[in-house]
Structure formats: structure tokens, C-alpha cells
Amino acid sequence: MKPQNHFEKGLILFDFPEPLTAKVEVNLPAKLINLVTKSVSDQPEVVELIQMLDGIYVRTYDRGTIDEKKLVNYFQDSVKKDQWELLVKIQENNETVEIHLLFDEDKVYGIFAIVIAKRSGEATFVNIVGEIAPERVEELLGNLSNFGAVD
């Protein structure tokens, strides 16, 4: 088995074995992220954070069109199998937020969020990949709403 590079190491594939149609699909590989860096070049702290990222991937599904439990279980099993750590889990009023991290002592290689929102009727899955300094994770998580993941 070949060793994973850091990009592969933090990547959760949206490869659910049944056909799904995402309401929202965002694919920002490193090349596109680098374009964003140019537009915020006057903000060094933002540039530094963006340069840690290799990819941002988002899928949002209409809860009425998916087998939500099966889909959530599939991704929960994926992160468990790859030994991701559950950082946050909130279940309240039929809404769920889970945030998983893949990390070692020096770097966070991936963030995977599951957001099931009753109000909007949506299930959103966010995968942020890169070599992220642990002290910057909170900043990234605080910006999940910019990707449509949370209200």
C-alpha cells in the first residue's frame, strides 16, 4: 500500500454508492484556491490561511430526496475507518452538526463536517483538505457559513 500524501490523507471522497443529485456542489481544488489568494493579497493573515488549503469540497442535498440516515452513516463509517477524530457533535431539535478532524501532533490534514438542518431541509457535507496549522482550525470552522454549511 502506497503512503498517502497529505492531500489524499485529508480527502473524503463523495463516492456514495447510490446515485445522488446534489442541490449544491462546490469543488475548489488548490488551483482555484490560489486564484482566491490573489484577490485577498492585501490581507496577509487570510493569504496565510488559504495557502494551507489543498481543497474545499461541499455537497448539499435536499433531505426529502435522500436516505439521510444511510448517507450520514456512510460518511461516519468513512471517517471512522480512516481514524478521524470526532471534535464536535451536536444533536438538537432534529438537527445535527458533526465536525471530524484528521491530524497528527503538528498538522490537521482534513476537516469533515456533517450538517443536517431541519429548518432548511438540507443535509450538507463539507471536506476541507490541506496542511492546516492546528491553531487556525477554529478560524476555518468559523467560516463554514461562507460555504453554505451552517446558518
The candidate with the shortest Cα–Cα distance to 103, out of 1, 15, 9, 5, is 9
Q: Is the model's pLDDT at 4 over the cut of 50?
A: no
The candidate with the shortest Cα–Cα distance to 53, out of 9, 135, 110, 100, is 110
What is the spatial distance between Cα 109 and Cα 128, in angstroms, rounded to a whole number?
8
Please give the pLDDT value at position 2: 36
Q: Report the 10 Å Cβ neighbour count for 60.
A: 21
Q: Where are the domains of the chain?
A: 6-143
Q: Is the model's pLDDT at 132 over the cut of 50?
A: yes
Q: Report the 10 Å Cβ neighbour count for 9.
A: 18
* 8 Å CB contact between 123 and 116: yes
- pLDDT tens, residue by residue, 95-118: 999 999 999 888 999 999 999 998
Provide the grid cell at 134.
492546528
The candidate with the shortest Cα–Cα distance to 7, out of 77, 73, 54, is 54
Please give the pLDDT value at position 113: 95
- pLDDT tens, residue by residue, 10-57: 999 999 999 899 999 999 998 888 887 777 777 777 778 888 899 999
Please give the pLDDT value at position 3: 40
- pLDDT tens, residue by residue, 55-76: 999 999 999 999 999 999 999 9
The candidate with the shortest Cα–Cα distance to 126, out of 63, 60, 64, 71, is 60
Identify which has the larger pLDDT, 149 or 43.
Answer: 43
Please give the pLDDT value at position 27: 94
Provide the grid cell at 41.
493579497
Please give the pLDDT value at position 103: 94
Identify which has the larger pLDDT, 151 or 95.
Answer: 95
